[in-house]
Structure 1
Amino acid sequence: MKKKKTRRTTLLIAALLLTGVFIIYLEEPRPRGTVETVTPAVQKSGTLTPELAGIAAYLNTQNITLGELVGKKVILVDIWTYSCINCQRTLPYITAWHEKYKDLGLEIIGVHSPEFDFEKNPANVARAVEKWGIQYPVVLDNDHATWRAFRNNYWPRKYLIDIDGYIAYDHIGEGAYDETERKIQELLQERQERLGISLAMPLELSTINAPTVNFRQIGTPEIYLGSEFTRGNFGSPEGLPHGKTITYFAAAERTPNNVYLEGTWTVGKDHVRLESDTGKVHLQFTAKNANIVAGGPSNVTTYLNGEQREQFRTSSSDLYPVAMEKEYGTYDLTLDVTGKGFELYTFTFG
């Protein structure tokens, strides 16, 4: 990438959260161009890591580059986005690794590459960073420049970069936590040998109290709403015409794994927004847990197999659990929504 000297502006956003105030540093994006790689500490065979590119803002740091860490640290780059359930399920492991290995030479950088427009808002990401107890640097890759530099296509994705600046490990999605941690230990040991230091390296693997998912028992795919994001799995015969405000009527019959709406909704590119005072969403799914990505100030009551379960209010745009069962199975879910302005983006399952 051609380097261009940029002017930094620092924006102080006082996010009055339960635990404090966030400082978010905003950076003018660099122009697009060829991928810039770091300068290796030692020349050897392998794939050099690309540099961070197009960063719009920084959390938990005023500035950071991969190049400044080469020759000093082992780096874990975690590409994630805050409303992604798969990303959320990996965060307990990553935050634990940060705490365990930060003084042994591991630097974790969360690259927040948004899926939806609301995830570009620094204040929204700051709330998620606080919620998940993330203390390592997080950079906002709002235009996916770093995502493209790494040639990535997935959320989440983890890259381990050795002390010399080469990608030593690459994992897509959830899982392989023991394998990843062993690789962290291996690379940190290599770092010690390279720097001629000796630090006590824990040999035991981390024990994390986090939910596990049996993907073989999930029979419903992730379902997207909106005219451009939909992948199908929408059953209401009125469809999802872009930009139109549609009154959806109760369907006489409903097919499993398809979303059905009731009420008046406006169809956006990546979501549907409730325009009437009340509305309903129906879905028969096969899994143990179901979640929605939603926003807008509305009240939601959930029904599972006709039985009322939970009531909650959507405020900020985020992921909300709507079914948390003990066993995998097929369930009829209804969301009874009160309050116009409710926005529904996607269903995800676990």
Structure 2
Amino acid sequence: MTATSRLPVEGPLPALDGATAWLHSEPLTPAALRGRVAVLQFCTFSCINWLRTVPYVRAWAEKYRDVTVIGVHSPEFPFEHDEEAVRSALDGMGIRYPIAIDDDFALWRALDNAYWPALYFVDVDGRIRHRHVGEEGYERSERVIQYLLGESGVRDVDEGLVSVTPDGVHLAADWASLGTPETYTGYARATGFASPGGLRLDRRHVYARPDHLRPHTWALDGAWTVRARSTTLDEPGGRIVARFHARDLNLVVGAHDGTAARVRVRIDGEPPGVARGLDVDEQGDGHVAEPRLYQLVRQQRPISDRIVEITFLDAGVEAYVITFG
């Protein structure tokens, strides 16, 4: 614990009154938390990087009854401003600890945060003693919790580490084989776009896939409207095509008004079979409804460059970001 005992004081926990709503709790304040160790985590429910941390943070909340775990939901995309959608998504993951709804990013700014996910560890005097950005680092984070509890006088702190077995979208990325970075489909942050002529902004356009896709690039095929933060399919049969190097491929996407839209996935021109993601069957068929992260590919080793074709058989789907794992 020598390194942990040198935890600096990074400043006081700011007021939490900028939250627009609270789930699973009355509004909390630094004064109400005084005397308890607290852990805050910034999240947004469609973020794959946050989803992969969920089993650990949830396990800490269950194990350490002298710790108050607080999720701060700062929405990345417009659909994540829907409080009922947030509640449904988090409840579906078994998250029961307090959630501050940070629709106006007041808490985000107060802590000068810049990442999903990000953890802030607060001692019993309301002082921030440690922070961790991104995934991984779970043992270090749990040791910080244990140290702050011991520092506060809690006796018999269990120094074992939580045992979790993540699966589904919560499974850690295969970092050794992850070669393709995420890309947004909206023009404000899109990278690696390969359809001839480039993106046409804020208007319907019929795109074509190129004859050859370079590694880590993607293309549209069919009639789409590309906006700053998302891309909408205007006619049935449109495709998103990508050449990627990763175990998993996920797409944050939703159908118009949440009505189901049919999707079909092909890998190198063939049904995915055992490489299917959670949201399609072995033939590559599935449905897109409410906007969220859909896992479309989870392949077995060895991992190599693959070309995925995601065909939407119904118009109106809105795509936001392609992520990998």
Please tell me the TM-score bracket, short chain as reference.
Answer: 0.7 to 0.9
Alignment partner, residue 345 of structure 1: 320
Q: Following the alignment from structure 2 to structure 1, what is the Cα–Cα distance between the partners of residues 10 and 285? A: 53
Per-residue CA distance 1:5-53 (angstroms, 9 max, x = gap): xxxxxxxxxxxxxxxxxxxxxxxxxxxxxxxxxxxxxxx9641122224
> What is the CA-CA distance between 1:67 and the residue it aligns to?
2.8
TM-score for both structures, normalised by structure 2: 0.88
Unaligned runs of 5+ residues in structure 2 are 1-7, 273-283
8 Å contact kept, 1:277–1:338: yes
Per-residue CA distance 1:209-252 (angstroms, 9 max, x = gap): 0223343431111111112232x211112433331111112322
Q: Following the alignment from structure 1 to structure 2, what is the Cα–Cα distance between the partners of residues 279 and 45? A: 53
TM-score for both structures, normalised by structure 1: 0.82
Alignment partner, residue 181 of structure 2: 221
Q: Secondary structure at the match of 1:180?
A: helix
Alignment partner, residue 242 of structure 2: 283
Q: Following the alignment from structure 1 to structure 2, what is the Cα–Cα distance between the partners of residues 45 and 179? A: 17
8 Å contact kept, 2:215–2:305: no
> What is the CA-CA distance between 1:101 and the residue it aligns to?
0.6
Q: Secondary structure at the match of 2:54?
A: helix
Say which of 270, 286, 300 aligns to 1:326.
300
Alignment partner, residue 136 of structure 2: 175
Alignment partner, residue 213 of structure 2: 254
Within 5 A, what are the aligned runs for 1:1-350? 46-70=10-34, 72-102=35-65, 105-191=66-152, 193=153, 199-210=155-166, 211-230=171-190, 232-296=191-255, 297-309=260-272, 310-327=284-301, 328-350=303-325
Alignment partner, residue 281 of structure 2: none
Q: Following the alignment from structure 1 to structure 2, what is the Cα–Cα distance between the partners of residues 200 and 167? A: 23
Q: Greater RCO between the two (CA within 8 Å, min separation 6)?
A: 2
Q: Secondary structure at the match of 2:305?
A: strand
Percent of pairs with identical residues: 34
Q: Secondary structure at the match of 1:227?
A: coil
8 Å contact kept, 2:39–2:69: yes
Moved over 4 A (4+): none
Q: Which amino acid aligns with 2:13?
A: T
Q: Following the alignment from structure 1 to structure 2, what is the Cα–Cα distance between the partners of residues 264 and 238? A: 14
Distance 1:171 1:61, change over 3 A: same
8 Å contact kept, 1:53–1:149: no
> What is the CA-CA distance between 1:318 and the residue it aligns to?
0.2
Q: Following the alignment from structure 1 to structure 2, what is the Cα–Cα distance between the partners of residues 200 and 285? A: 49
Q: Which amino acid aligns with 1:204?
A: G
Q: Following the alignment from structure 1 to structure 2, what is the Cα–Cα distance between the partners of residues 183 and 86? A: 21
Q: Secondary structure at the match of 1:147?
A: helix
Q: Secondary structure at the match of 1:127?
A: helix
